[in-house]
Amino acid sequence: MSGLFNERALRLMFLGSAVRVSEQQFPDVYDYVRDAAYVLDLDEVPELYIQMNPQPNAMAIGSSKPFIVMTSGLFDLLDASEQRFVVGHEVGHILSGHAVYRTMLLALIRLAARVAWIPLGYIGLRAIVAALEEWYRKSELSCDRAGLLAAQDPDAAKRALMKMAGGSRLAQMNADAFLEQAKEYDAAGDVRDGFLKLLITQGQTHPFAVVRLAELDRWIKDGSYNRIINGEYPRRDSDKDAKIGDEVRNAADSYRESWSRTTDPLVGTLRDVAGSAASTGGKIFDSVAERWKNSGSRDGSAG
């Protein structure tokens, strides 16, 4: 998949057409990248390019050596603390390996457009793309948390998300009112509104700004942010004991928890079905993984 999306060509394009952040160019932003890499324990400080583009945007792209691109539109929109949050968000994508899946998603979208004339092939690809888009929307919520951990300024994180929704006139906006707006969006009117929300998120790789702010605010208020700041979080040496089935069930629990909080009437009709499917999926993953381990053990002993 990486071959369909030429990472080297992309890097050369930005190297030739944008400004690479360094100690000599945008030194403040370079400090933000370096600090975020240190706070999030990333082994290597990723490259960051500032691109002349009035559209506010930032992205982490590439697979073997991911890098960050921030447009001048976003740079000019945010103050220093808000820029730290955005840079930390993108470093979180790189740390988590999200850039690989984003690259895959972009490649599959291109491929789906090319094979649109093949009915079954297109339907199959669109199903994969839809799943990746849902995953990517969730990854954005994860990296908002990474951005907050890097910036360690909840107010700046909220301001950045509000500006992405309403522009630079922050004095005309109110965080509490924005959260009320998020509650109204979540509640919807009836099943029709819930279905419409489902439709308008198709093709979207990012959750809407009100959703992102509400999720980040909830994460702060439930104490998760402070626990991590105080050093209470899983360490990398525990990864070797992780099981795919457990992670599937954890994902199912996360969905069930979010569904139990929402007042969307459509979601209420889907809770039990999705939860049962995820539980079954976890058991299947456990079974396959166990067989694979047993097979590997037999092969090793035979050698």
- Asked if residue 223 lies in contact with residue 263, where contact means CB atoms within 8 angstroms, the answer is no
Question: Cα(36)–Cα(58) distance, rounded to whole angstroms?
Answer: 15
First to last CA, the chain: 33
Same domain, 168 and 289: no
Same domain for 212 and 250, yes or no, is: no
Q: Tens digit of pLDDT for each residue in 248-297?
A: 787 777 777 776 766 666 555 555 555 555 555 555 556 656 666 666 55
Structural domain count of the chain = 2
Tell me if 162 is assigned to some domain.
Answer: yes
Q: Is residue 150, in this structure, part of any structural domain at all?
A: yes
Q: Is 273 domain-assigned?
A: yes
Predicted confidence at residue 257, as pLDDT, reads: 75
**What would the mean pLDDT of 188-211 be, rounded to a whole number?**
72
Identify whether residues 78 and 18 lie together within a single domain: yes
Residue 300 pLDDT > 70, yes or no? no
196 and 283 assigned to the same domain: no
Torsion of CA 271, 277, 282, 288, to 10 degrees: -170
Whole-Å CA distances, 27 to 57, 71, 86, 118: 20, 16, 16, 50
Chosen domain end from 174, 200, 233: 233
The whole-number pLDDT of residue 184 equals: 83
pLDDT tens string 98-129: 877 776 776 776 666 666 556 655 566 767 77
- What is the predicted pLDDT for the residue at 11? 86
Phi, psi of 48, rounded to the nearest 5 degrees:
-135, 135
* pTM, entire model: 0.77
| pLDDT score at 119 | 63
82 has a pLDDT exceeding 80:
yes
The fraction of the chain above a pLDDT of 70, given in percent, is 71
Catalytic residue among 7, 47, 82, 90: 90
**Is 90 in the active site?**
yes
Per the structure, the complete domain to which residue 43 belongs is given by 2-233
Label the pairing between strands 48-51 and 19-20: antiparallel
End position of a domain, from candidates 233, 259, 285: 233
pLDDT digits (tens, 9 = 90+) for 139-185: 999 999 999 999 999 999 999 999 999 999 999 999 999 999 988 87
Query: Do 25 and 143 have their domain in common?
Result: yes
**Amino acid identity of 115?**
V
